[in-house]
Structure 1
Amino acid sequence: MDQQQHNPARRAWLNQALGLLSVAAAPTLAFAQNAAHIVVVGGGVGGATAAKYLKLFNPALKVTLIEKNPVYVRPYGSSEVLNRHATMDELNVSYDLLKSKYGIQVVIDTVTGFDPVARTVSTAGRQKIAYDKLIVSPGIQLMYGAYAGYSEPVARTAVPSGWIPGEQTALLAKQLQGMRQGGTFVLAAPPNPYRCPPGPYERAALMTEWFAKHNPTAKVIIVDPKDSFVTDETMMLGWNRLYNFNLPADYVKKMSAEVEVKQHSGTSMLSWVRGKEGGRTLKIDAKQMRIETEAEVIQADVINVIPPMKAGQVAMALGLADSSGFCPVNRRNFASNLQPNVYVIGDASMADAMPKSGFSANTQAKVVARAIVEELAGRTAPEPLWENTCYALAGKDYGLFVADVFKIVDGKIARINGKGRYLPLNATPAQIKLGARYQQAWLRTFTSDCFA
């Protein structure tokens, strides 16, 4: 459900944000820097959006997008492959329209380094590409070695992650759909920070719904190093209604003033083991298909590990990340704090209150594109505003969301909307179903905004 319809203050903030980003507000083309060459490294949501909006704001700019993969495989919505609501092919997104419609040069190659003085980027294909400004959208890499017994080879062959969609997603789908009757699926949720905050819990919910139809004696167990997560109240209320999940007592107490939370007798197919209950993952035994947590060793039929994350490899290669594993940036324009004339956007950047999501990367890219165009014109960029909306499903027809607006407050990016971030706990069945329809529509329109 789009909260803009119900929150006039938020609608005003969004109108201001869109005004700052509008093509109509772009500067005149009559300045000498029109021929500037902007190179964008990384063709995911952040990089593709940045390249597209640079050309929208100033069609005279020369824009080159460097991406190692010829086709983008979208992570948002990828868990729907697991329950056969989508196919792997439906995750594929082409770069063709960025080339034909906007005149962006797309180079399929891997960036290996750069010379910040000469302003050139080097690639594995032995190209050297000169730039005036460099935007890097590195994405994330998974830290497979964070758990004893786990590694990338293990993930590829036996215990997939699938958080970066591709072959591991297909393997996980095959394992889940072929799991024996009455089997156990364990999902190991990651520590903060990580890409797509509601995502692990949506994945568990969608598989619980699928098992209810195809494997009704199966069990789904989430083991978690955290005690809470974004959208937890609305997500678990959906679990409660759909899968007879009993919420922890502290959640029931907190939510009871707004909504009735049912207490179910018997055992739910779905369980959530929090950090305070020993849910942190310690070890993976792929041969015996066991996962060891602080509380217990669980025998499973399918294990899905979502390990800790850090900035993508290209961020390391270009010296953009610090000891935290992520990339410090200037909050106003996402210029790197470590390298000159470089901007870092998306999941790899340190963006304070902004979550690591595709929507965040998209809005960061637009602000950065505008800031670069204004700088080339010798003007000051307007005060930035950012937005994020994460849609999620507790079931195919049970939609929910978190929606926020951000601005700089006391030198940091802060959320400026207070109440009304989430689907109301007392939302009607029609509103909940509409939220699921919005999620499906968003998958299409968001992809179009980034790539078409």
Structure 2
Amino acid sequence: MTFNRRTFLGTAVAATSLTAPMVQAASHARPRAVVIGGGAGGATAARYIAKDSNGEIDVTLIEPSRSYYTCFFSNLYIGGFRDLQSIAHNYAKLASDYGVNVVHDWAVGVDRDAKTVALAGGGSVPYDRLVISPGIDFVDGAVPGWDVSAQTAMPHAYKAGTQTALLKAQIEAMPEGGTYVMVAPPNPYRCPPGPYERISMVAHVLKATNPTAKILIADPKEGFSKQALFEEGWQKHYGGMITRIGPDFGGGNVTVNPDTMEVDIDGEVVKANVCNVIPAQKAGMICAAADLTDGNWAPVDGHTMQSRLDENIHILGDATNQGDMPKSGFSANSQAKVAAMAVRGALTGSRVFPAKYSNTCWSLIATDDGVKVGAAYEATDEKIASVSSFVSQTGEDAAMRKATYEESIGWYAGITSDMFG
């Protein structure tokens, strides 16, 4: 499917209705929906709840950042195809055009009995329905020798913004013939093709500015998303520059030393000029603080994105354990529309339609060499299940790859408009 702004924003839900749930009673004038997290899931949910309820629901969005940098397309900034401001967005239109109350603060706790969200700055925000879309945090000790205090020396750049800018600066400052090392994450993690698109973009920069440099990937996984496409592209565009060490050769046995910039891969010590550590991941910390996880992720009902531990809370995006959908911006945006519809139904008695989901992940390998993978999904009682899928093919001609890249540009414009108005 080719996406542009019109087709993306015009995607319709199915026409068969479910029985509308009863409206929750409230002692205040309007029922209150609170959304934690202003990314692809949270911003979309806040906008759709406010827009489609026509003011019947009081919507509050809690997000600490005044400027939100999308993780999707941040690799293109590293590769020099975008500038940083092109992936930065604000919440002005959500407030001015849709009446969303935007609170720039950290949500630090949820009292599920009192139905309130505690703020770092003091006070709390009451809700009738709560939507949580916090993205990811990192599993402590996932990479021995690394924790968040080392993220300046060895950036993760898996939360976009200053970390992405830091990693780009480090790559550009590499000495001639230097070594870039990526410690790739284990499954599951945010954006399955993301680390390998990043490798492509780093190689694109180094090929032009530092052609004798080397790229080394220490990877704990047997395989990865779009592997054949990436490996074909690396051979075609960056032959001899990129080496991947998988688990059979110790890629899952890695220790780092940020002070000396050394990486120990199964006993072999590599001196890195740049080391990009992407640790194992878990749901954003507010999910654990609210006791909504099964360990690392938050289990949800695919029909409504409601937490399986609290029916008054919906959880979206990367933080969820929901079934077959990848942890991606497109997935979070798709899930947000289902959750927004369920929230409106619960609070106003509006019609609720069967949940339908979709996702596409585009990746850029080199100039005009874009590839994609995606699927359509439906909710079952057990999970969100894939019902059809597609992927780019190896050996595609240049025109097809260029068209795929241009399709991704249209999608980015569409989804960010869908998120922020």
Query: Which TM-score applies when normalising by structure 2?
Result: 0.91
Q: Does 1:233 align with 2:228?
A: yes
Aligned partners of 2:180 and 2:272 also within 8 Å: yes
Per-residue deviation, 1:299: 2.0
| Residue in structure 2 matching 1:351, options 322, 337, 353 | 322
Aligned to 2:115: 119
Distance 2:156 2:24 in 1: 49
Distance 2:10 2:74 in 1: 32
The one-letter code sitting in structure 2 at the alignment partner of 1:111 is A
Aligned to 1:256: none
Aligned to 1:441: 410
The one-letter code sitting in structure 1 at the alignment partner of 2:80 is R
Q: Does 1:53 align with 2:81?
A: no
Aligned to 2:137: 141
Distance 2:136 2:130 in 1: 19
Per-residue deviation, 1:322: 2.1
Cα distance, 1:269–1:113 mapped onto 2, change above 3 Å: same
Distance 2:212 2:89 in 1: 37
Q: Does 1:182 align with 2:177?
A: yes
Distance 1:348 1:318 in 2: 13
Specify which structure has the higher proportion of helix.
1
Cα offsets for 1:235-264 (capped at 9, x unmatched): 2222222223xxxxxxxxxxxxxxxxxxxx
Aligned partners of 2:303 and 2:381 also within 8 Å: no
Aligned to 1:62: 58
Aligned to 2:260: 288
Cα distance, 1:150–1:142 mapped onto 2, change above 3 Å: same
SS at match of 2:34: strand
Matches within 5 A, 1:97-112: 97-112=93-108
Aligned to 2:388: 417
Structure having greater relative contact order (Cα 8 Å, sep ≥ 6)? 2
The one-letter code sitting in structure 1 at the alignment partner of 2:95 is K
Aligned to 1:8: none
Aligned partners of 1:194 and 1:309 also within 8 Å: yes
Q: Does 1:18 align with 2:31?
A: no
SS at match of 2:216: strand
The one-letter code sitting in structure 2 at the alignment partner of 1:389 is T
User: How many residue pairs end up in the alignment?
Assistant: 412
Distance 1:149 1:240 in 2: 32
Q: Does 1:277 align with 2:249?
A: yes
| Residue in structure 1 matching 2:282, options 310, 319, 324 | 310
Per-residue deviation, 1:379: 6.2
Q: Does 1:200 align with 2:195?
A: yes
Q: Which structure 1 segments of 5+ residues have no match?
A: 6-10, 245-267
Distance 1:167 1:130 in 2: 32
Aligned partners of 1:224 and 1:281 also within 8 Å: no
Cα offsets for 1:82-113 (capped at 9, x unmatched): 23333333332110010111111101111122
SS at match of 2:399: helix
Distance 2:147 2:25 in 1: 51
Aligned to 1:93: 89
Cα distance, 1:80–1:140 mapped onto 2, change above 3 Å: same
Distance 2:60 2:67 in 1: 16
Distance 1:201 1:287 in 2: 26
Aligned to 1:81: 77
Aligned to 1:262: none
Distance 2:158 2:105 in 1: 23
- 78-87 or 222-231: bigger deviation: 78-87
Per-residue deviation, 1:380: 6.5
Distance 1:217 1:383 in 2: 54
SS at match of 1:376: helix
Distance 1:231 1:432 in 2: 14
Q: Does 1:371 align with 2:365?
A: no
| Residue in structure 2 matching 1:334, options 300, 305, 325 | 305
SS at match of 2:223: coil
Cα offsets for 1:211-235 (capped at 9, x unmatched): 1111111111111001111111222
Distance 2:81 2:143 in 1: 31
Cα distance, 1:442–1:4 mapped onto 2, change above 3 Å: closer
The one-letter code sitting in structure 2 at the alignment partner of 1:271 is T
Distance 1:291 1:383 in 2: 49
Distance 2:217 2:392 in 1: 23
Distance 1:115 1:285 in 2: 40
- 122-131 or 389-398: bigger deviation: 122-131
Aligned partners of 2:362 and 2:372 also within 8 Å: yes
Distance 1:167 1:118 in 2: 36
| Superposition RMSD in Å | 2.6
SS at match of 1:19: coil
Distance 2:248 2:102 in 1: 48
SS at match of 2:206: helix
Per-residue deviation, 1:415: 0.7
Distance 2:164 2:193 in 1: 18
| Residue in structure 2 matching 1:224, options 216, 219, 222 | 219
Distance 1:191 1:281 in 2: 12
Aligned to 2:155: 160
Query: Which TM-score applies when normalising by structure 1?
Result: 0.85
Aligned partners of 2:177 and 2:212 also within 8 Å: yes
Distance 1:87 1:184 in 2: 25
The one-letter code sitting in structure 1 at the alignment partner of 2:320 is S
Aligned to 1:263: none
Per-residue deviation, 1:376: 3.0
Aligned partners of 2:131 and 2:314 also within 8 Å: yes
Specify which structure has the higher proportion of strand.
2
SS at match of 1:383: coil
Aligned partners of 2:24 and 2:346 also within 8 Å: no
Aligned to 2:124: 128
Cα distance, 1:278–1:301 mapped onto 2, change above 3 Å: same
Aligned partners of 1:21 and 1:367 also within 8 Å: no
Aligned to 1:259: none
Aligned partners of 1:277 and 1:295 also within 8 Å: no
Q: Which structure 2 segments of 5+ residues have no match?
A: none
Per-residue deviation, 1:426: 3.7
